[in-house]
Amino acid sequence: MFSANKSPQSWGRYPQVEASRVIPVFWRDELPNLAELELPVLPHGYGRSYGDSCLNESGILLDMSHLTRFLSFDVDKGLLRCEAGVTLADILELIVPHGWFLTVTPGTKFASVGGAIANDVHGKNHHRAGAFGCHVTCFELLRSDGQRLICSPEENADLFRATIGGLGLTGVILWAEIRLRPIRSPLIDMERIRFASLREFIDIAAASEQDFEYTVAWVDCLASGKQLGRGFFTRGNHAEQKNSDIIKKKKPLVIPLDFPSWILNMWTIKAFNTTNYSLQRKNSVQKTVLYDPFFYPLDAIHKWNRMYGKRGFFQYQCIVPYDDGYDAMKELLERISRSGQGSFLSVLKTFGDRSSPGMLSFPRPGLELALDFANQGNKTLELLEDLDEVVRQSGGVVYPAKDARMSPESFQTYFPHWREFTQYIDSKFSSSFWRRVTAATVGELEELPVKRL
């Protein structure tokens, strides 16, 4: 939620642009007449996308954060229907006591359901469950011509596929229905294994996918030479036992103000990474934890994005296909390590081949790397462009939900179907991201091909 008199930001706090107007939406049947609005519109939830895909410079944002009601919950079948502004945290609070869990959850529970669909988010179980969109059974989409369409794999199937991963450009998702997965307890049995190299990571990942629903790794992105690609591999499963009361919930911390930019520099981060790597003496540690610290460790620190200071930060998240995945990933890690940029939040993960219905979805089989870079201006932008070069050549992809800077050429290489997608865009909708990667300005919008529905 944000105040009406302040233009909302994205999570990376870059770029800092202003919408000309923010319209709060309180009821599903009381949206403004979109066709009559003078500027392009974009639905906005809680601003948990990192770049500019949730921003609409000089346009109108529809604040969806007040649409937080549930429509129905079939406790026997695990089907939940809720409004688009409901957060994943709200859902978990409701469903976990009934023995259900989100089939796919991203690394924050403060995202909205509408945003999870529009970005087709994924989680630590991509190798098993695919992306969020795989478990969306249907949703209602409001188009600017006033049509309210129920979209599902059977009904308005094209629009269903376009809207999943469609970055909010196909209309307003009013409510959605998702399929949940059963659990026996809110606990996770997890194991943390040390690995010394990228090759070791790939081997452990391959050996874990069969028996572990959740896998992810932290990598020390500043290590170089022989230590390149060292880190920790975390794997886990929903626990079978029930006694969760033994584990106390911790209160979240809040970062109360912007850190000065010098606090996070190469040396402090290197020190953190080395300490973090050396702290676990044993090669492998097993424990049972509540689902919260396992899935959402960063949610425990509210407003952690302030650690990167006023200038904000970039997150670079890419997948390189398995074929020459090792070489491409090694090249990426080398380039990052050489640059001395990069941060402590670096993640490696293997993606499976379960494809999402989403036309413009990011997830695909391969090796995924995600890491943060404090915004240091051109120096950072040049490094990220360097990384793009490797990802482009490998036939990989960069995640729009995290992006604030990729070039139109990169985007169009990563998403060759983007032109096919444009026919499903609602002519009244646009975003800063979309104008950037299609190199269109607000005035040129009308020229994009629009399919009449």
Partner 1 sequence: MAYEAAKCFARDGADLFLVGRSAEKLTTVADDLKVRGAKRAETYVLDLCELDRHQEMFEQAIASLGELDMLLIAHGTLGDQHKSEQSVAETMQELQTNCLSVIALLTISANYFEQQRHGCIAVVSSVAGDRGRKSNYVYGTAKAAVSAFLQGLRNRLSSAGVSVVTIKPGYVATPMTAHLKKGLLTASPQSVGYGIYEAMKKGKDVVYLPWFWRPIMFIIKCIPERIFKRLSL
Could you tell me which stretch among 27-35, 182-190, 394-402, 414-422 binds partner 1 (CB under 8 A)? Answer: 27-35
Q: Which of 94, 150, 196, 301 binds partner 1 (CB under 8 A)?
A: 94
Give the nearest distance from C-beta 82 to partner 1 in angstroms.
Answer: 8
Q: Which of 26, 226, 446, 449 binds partner 1 (CB under 8 A)?
A: 26
Give the nearest distance from C-beta 226 to partner 1 in angstroms.
Answer: 52
- First vs last C-alpha separation in the chain: 33
Is residue 439 a contact residue for partner 1 (CB under 8 A)?
no
Q: Which of 17, 21, 58, 73 binds partner 1 (CB under 8 A)?
A: 73
Residues 39-58 that bind partner 1 (CB under 8 A): none
Our CB check for partner 1 shows the closer of 5 and 33 to be: 5
Q: Which of 17, 21, 69, 179 binds partner 1 (CB under 8 A)?
A: 69
Is residue 303 a contact residue for partner 1 (CB under 8 A)?
no
Q: Which of 70, 272, 304, 418 binds partner 1 (CB under 8 A)?
A: 70
Q: Which of 15, 18, 21, 24 binds partner 1 (CB under 8 A)?
A: 24
Provide the residue type at 344 as one letter.
F
Give the nearest distance from C-beta 69 to partner 1 in angstroms.
Answer: 4
In whole angstroms, give the CA distance from residue 100 to residue 123: 17
Could you tell me which stretch among 70-78, 153-161, 214-222, 379-387 binds partner 1 (CB under 8 A)? Answer: 70-78
Could you tell me which stretch among 23-31, 137-145, 165-173, 433-441 binds partner 1 (CB under 8 A)? Answer: 23-31
Q: Which of 16, 20, 72, 393 binds partner 1 (CB under 8 A)?
A: 72
Count of positions on this chain that bind partner 1 (CB under 8 A): 16
Checking DSSP bridges between strand 172-182 and strand 214-219, what pairing results, if any?
Answer: unpaired
Give the nearest distance from C-beta 45 to partner 1 in angstroms.
Answer: 16
Could you tell me which stretch among 65-73, 311-319, 330-338, 391-399 binds partner 1 (CB under 8 A)? Answer: 65-73
Residues 242-261 that bind partner 1 (CB under 8 A): none
Do residues 427 and 444 make contact, with C-beta atoms less than 8 angstroms apart?
no
Q: Which of 29, 36, 211, 446 binds partner 1 (CB under 8 A)?
A: 29
Give the nearest distance from C-beta 65 to partner 1 in angstroms.
Answer: 10
Could you tell me which stretch among 62-70, 121-129, 226-234, 435-443 binds partner 1 (CB under 8 A)? Answer: 62-70
In whole angstroms, give the CA distance from residue 87 to residue 390: 35
Could you tell me which stretch among 68-76, 123-131, 198-206, 300-308 binds partner 1 (CB under 8 A)? Answer: 68-76
Give the nearest distance from C-beta 103 to partner 1 in angstroms.
Answer: 18
Our CB check for partner 1 shows the closer of 17 and 79 to be: 79
Closest CA to 362 of 88, 159, 126, 96: 126
Burial (CB < 10 A; 0-12, 13-18, 19+), residue 377, is exposed
Give the nearest distance from C-beta 141 to partner 1 in angstroms.
Answer: 18
Our CB check for partner 1 shows the closer of 70 and 418 to be: 70
Residue 205 CA, chain-centre distance (Å), reads 21
Is residue 1 a contact residue for partner 1 (CB under 8 A)?
yes
Binding site for partner 1 (CB under 8 A): 1, 3-5, 24, 26-29, 66, 69-73, 94
